[in-house]
Structure 1
Amino acid sequence: MPGCHRPVQACDLDHVQPWAQGGGTDSTNLCGLCRRDHRLKDEPGWHHRMTETGTLEITTPAGRTYRSEPEPLTTAA
C-alpha cells in the first residue's frame, strides 16, 4: 500500500477482487498488505484495483487515488 514500508515478507496476501465476487487466486489478483492495511481495505469507501501491468490502485473514501508499482524481480547471481 502506498506509504507503508513493511516488507512484503511480513504481510498478508490478499485478493484485490474477492474470490467470492469472481476474483481469481493468482498473481494478477493478489497483493501484499500489512495487517493494518488489510483490515483498512474492507472499510467502507476504500476501493482497490489491480491494473494489467501489476500496479495496485487504491482509492480512499475521500476520492484520492494512490498507485503502488511492483518492485522489479531480481535474479540471484
Structure 2
Amino acid sequence: MGNSTRTGLADFTTDQISTAELLPLTPASQEQLAAAARVTARHAHGRDDLALLLDVLALPRNDTPTTLPASTESAD
C-alpha cells in the first residue's frame, strides 16, 4: 500500500496521485466553453454579475440579451 496524503476531503495514496498527474490535460472545446457559459448565465443575478462571472472563469461572453435567462431581467 502506498503512502497517504491528507487533503482535507479524502485520503489519496501516492500511487493514485502519481497516476492522476500522468493524465493528459486537454483544452476545453468551444462547445464545452459555451455549455459552461450557459450554466453560469443561469446563476447570474443580472448583466453585470454575468459579465464578472464569465470574466473570472475565462469563459466566452455573448453580449446579446439572449445570454441571460428571462428570470434575471429587471422589470424596469
Q: TM-score, normalised by structure 2?
A: 0.26
Structure with higher strand content? 1
Q: TM-score, normalised by structure 1?
A: 0.26
* Rg larger for: 2
Structure with higher helix content? 2
